[in-house]
Structure 1
């Protein structure tokens, strides 16, 4: 199941063109109707979803859990000018933190994007296809795991980075999941910074599309336990890391710092009473660092 939300302001003729790209399962919401979507969520809204940037495309992929309920695999904001997602966001809770669905490593163009935005799944020239929502993060169902191989969930990464410190940080995040004394829910936002002055170059996809290569990658984490919120961010240069550079605490930053670096407003649906204090600082020991 997938949902597409175009957070754009088009003239009606162009809106109709984009609406024709979706299938019968797609829900396309324009402009102010986004607020109606957010209102469907209980409490503070979809906490994992940052504030959207006008002109980009919001996509949500979901699957059904064993109890028959829908659960969001991940969502993303896609920047068609960069042929790259601005961020990918998802959450873990006791329904999704385990499983052994296996790895279904076949890359696909994201069927939720119009065909004209599909870059091709064959390769990024000179770079690996690096997961944002990791395959290992979605092991509770085969379908969810397959969705992690959509190209909207990929970023051009140096192999040494993708298979090195990025994997280490992803593993650290997953280490939190089965500790019930640590959290009830973990909200995760990941990506490469694709602001025009923060890319290394453009590489080319297998269909010849120019795809932005980020200079830096980030993760923003918000954990909730018993109504108490704690957050931390990580900011990594996109490069090779030596063995003595793998201490993750050296790359920890506050969410406020991460917002200043990326231009992304993380966890903006968090109640204002909590947001300010939660995002301005972090404690390493709270995160096992």
Structure 2
């Protein structure tokens, strides 16, 4: 056999061996790689504890919504209104671990707001006849100095009549705080509505040269989760029997200490504000919670 013939025979043998090997491996189920799987859609972002029951105005951070601008942080979540110079609402979870010794704090502008927003300063309230009303109270964030300081950001502040902040509004704050100290987890949304309140200097629609709007009314929705943990599983603990407290209070000196007489249904707060509460709850439960008005007897504070 010539050299060229031997080379051809060797090449043919190699080719046959390769074909046989391919047939065997195909028979063993080793074939082409499976096509790549479709990408999995990302999970929706965790709303965090302060928006566990929902985002009532669908606030979002971004250039498209300066008057419904979402702020989120360790202390609370808020919908900020650039044109009104304050929050539309503030939402927070209250657990017994949020309490500590009462701490001092100093009012300050919120650095988390976009630079293009007008800065509301603590001094803008001086001499106006209105208190710097903190919607999320410092007592609810007294576990650490950092948490307390967050409640002194001007993004948590609205102009409130002194009779309100030191009367019914404070009374409900203390009542809700007492429920949390006794073991419940309390989820609260507090906000303002309308234009025009009455402070120590008389009625006003705006202060700070028009930079800050004075609200006509304040409202609050409180959900009391007994046996809660303050974590995401509390969403499943809310039932149609869960206690809900809602109030609408005028921003004027007529308000005394008896916050109980201002109780309404959550549905009435929705009608007033245009917001939707409890949108993360199952609809049948949410509907029942919105419809009921709290009538549990509450202590009457001295006037």
What TM-score results when the alignment is normalised by the length of structure 2? 0.69
User: Which of 136, 144, 156 is equivalent to 2:139?
Assistant: 136
Alignment of 1:176-215 (within 5 A): 176-180=179-183, 183=184, 185-194=185-194, 198-200=195-197, 201-205=204-208, 208=209, 210-215=211-216
More strand by share: 1
Once the two structures are TM-superposed, the CA of residue 241 in structure 1 deviates from its matched residue by 3.4
Identify the match of residue 61 of structure 1 among 67, 73, 76: 73
Instruction: State the partner residue of 1:277.
Output: 288
Q: Work out which of the residue numbers 161, 164, 169 in structure 2 matches 1:166.
A: 169
How do 1:96-175 residues align onto structure 2 when only pairs under 5 Å count?
96=98, 98-100=99-101, 102-117=102-117, 118-124=119-125, 125-175=128-178
- Deviation for aligned residue 1:169: 1.8
Distance 2:299 2:265 in 1: 16
CA–CA separation in structure 2 for the residues paired with 1:258 and 1:218: 7
Q: 1:42 to 1:152 in 2, by over 3 A?
A: closer
| TM-fit CA distance, 1:36 | 6.8
Higher-Rg structure is 2
Give SS of 1:112's match: coil
Q: Aligned pair 1:76/2:88, yes or no?
A: no
Deviation at 1:264, TM superposition (A): 1.8
Residues 263 and 294 in structure 2, CA contact (< 8 A), matched pair in contact too: no
- For residues 186-213 of structure 1, the C-alpha deviation after alignment (integer angstroms, 9 at most, x for no partner) is 110112114xxx44444333xx552110
Measure how far apart 1:220 and its partner are: 0.5
Deviation at 1:276, TM superposition (A): 0.7
Q: Contact between 1:165 and 1:241, CA under 8 Å: does it hold in 2? A: no
Distance 1:38 1:47, change over 3 A: farther
1:42 deviation in Å?
8.6
The aligned runs of 1:178-257 (5 Å cut-off) are 178-180=181-183, 183=184, 185-194=185-194, 198-200=195-197, 201-205=204-208, 208=209, 210-225=211-226, 227=237, 228=239, 229-241=242-254, 245-257=256-268
Contact 1:92 1:186 in 2 (8 A): yes
Cα pair 1:202 1:212 within 8 Å, conserved:
yes
What is the deviation of 1:107?
A: 0.6
Q: Distance in 1 between matches of 2:52 and 2:131?
A: 31
The equivalences for 1:1-12 within 5 A come to none
Equivalent residues of 2:246, 2:294 under 8 A apart: no
Change (3 A) 1:105 1:37: farther
Which blocks of at least 5 consecutive residues in structure 1 are unaligned? 1-34, 63-72
Please name the residue that 1:90 is paired with: 92
Question: Post-superposition shift, 1:288?
Answer: 6.9
State the Cα distance separating 1:47 from its structure 2 match: 1.4
Listed one character per residue, the Cα deviations across residues 73-118 of structure 1 (whole Å, up to 9, x for unaligned) are: 111001112112110000112432x211x32231100010123322
Task: Give me the whole-angstrom Cα distance separating, in 2, the residues matched to 1:110 and 1:42.
Answer: 20
Unmatched tracts of structure 2, length 5 or more: 1-40, 198-203, 228-236
Q: Spell out structure 1 runs of 4+ moving beyond 3 A.
A: 35-39, 198-202, 286-289
> 3-state SS of the aligned residue for 2:285?
helix
User: Contact 1:48–1:189 at 8 Å: present in 2 too?
Assistant: no
